Structures are given as structure tokens and as C-alpha cells.
Amino acid sequence: MKPDAQESASVKVRLDKWLWAARFYKTRGLSSEEIEKGRVRLNGQPVKPSKDVKAGDTVELRIGHEVRTVIVQALSGVRASVPVASLLFEETNASLTQRAANAEMRRLAPEPAHSLAQGRPTKRDRRDLQKTREPGAWNDRWSASLNED
């Protein structure tokens, strides 16, 4: 075995630190939160942020409405540029096709705003609604004068 291969085999990196270094999350704190919320699985099991990652492990993570499955290729506890960080993992083909299908479904889905028949009521609409719901209720309940004649 080469000396660097021995050193890289003995390197231990926490899952939260690896996710941060691989640029899945902006901060290490965010990656820890997501792991604790159960949105990250290591080899199909829910884990804690302190779990050590090894090359060849499968990490399944949910970011927003996207689910990604990646295989750990290399370990690093240092955040680097995007080209370097992309060398730390390889996304599975099934994950890539599922993400592409989800993106296409979102693209073809109707715009939610188009389903609204009308927007916010105008002041005139509000007054008309109020008249139909409680005719004269305001004037019957309250008086501006002190005399109760």
C-alpha cells in the first residue's frame, strides 16, 4: 500500500462536515439540522451528524422537494470550489433520471396563479359583501351619541 492510500484510508470525516464540504449545504450547521430532521440517510439508515463517512457509502438526501442519491467517492473536511467538491461524490443514474422527470413535471404543471378566478376584492366589493352579510348591523349595535334615546 502506498503511504497516501494508508493516510486516506485512516482519515475520518463526519457526515455533516462532508455534506458541507461537498457543497450540498451552505453551512455545517444547516447540514447538521437536516441530518437531525431525518432528511439525510446513510446507506439507507437514519444517522446522526457525527457518523463517519467512508468512500463507497450511499447518501440519500432531500433538499426541498428534490431527493438525491449520491455515492461517496472521496473524503474531505475542507470546503473547496465547486469543481473540486464535485469530485467528492457521484450521483446515481436513477437519481439523475428521477430529478429530470420531476423537473419536467414542474415545468409542465399549470401555473397556480391561473387557477384564481379573481384577485383581492376592491374596497367597493368589500362594502357590497358587508351589506349582504349583515344589513345595518353596525348602526344597530353602536351609537356615536351618549344619549340612548
Mean pLDDT calculated for residue range 27-34 = 94
pLDDT band at 91 (very low <50, low <70, confident <90, very high): very high
Say how many C-beta atoms besides its own lie within 10 A of residue 61's C-beta: 20
Which strands make up the sheet holding 89-91, listed edge to edge?
Answer: 45-46, 40-42, 58-63, 66-72, 89-91
Cα of 12 vs its chain's centroid, Å: 27
CATH superfamily label, 3-108: RNA-binding S4 domain (3.10.290.10)
- The owner of cell 461537498 is 22
pLDDT band at 54 (very low <50, low <70, confident <90, very high): very high
pLDDT band at 3 (very low <50, low <70, confident <90, very high): very low
Mean pLDDT calculated for residue range 98-123 = 84
Higher pLDDT among residues 58 and 128, named by residue: 58
Q: What percent of the chain is predicted at pLDDT more than 70?
A: 83
pLDDT tens column, 134-149: 655 555 555 566 665 5
Estimate the share of the chain in helix, then strand, then coil, as percent rounded to the nearest 5.
45, 15, 40
Stretch (H or E) spanning 103: helix 93-108
pLDDT of residue 136: 57
DSSP code for 64: T
pLDDT of residue 148: 58
Mean pLDDT calculated for residue range 122-144 = 71
pTM above 0.85, yes or no: no
Q: Provide the mean pLDDT of the chain.
A: 84
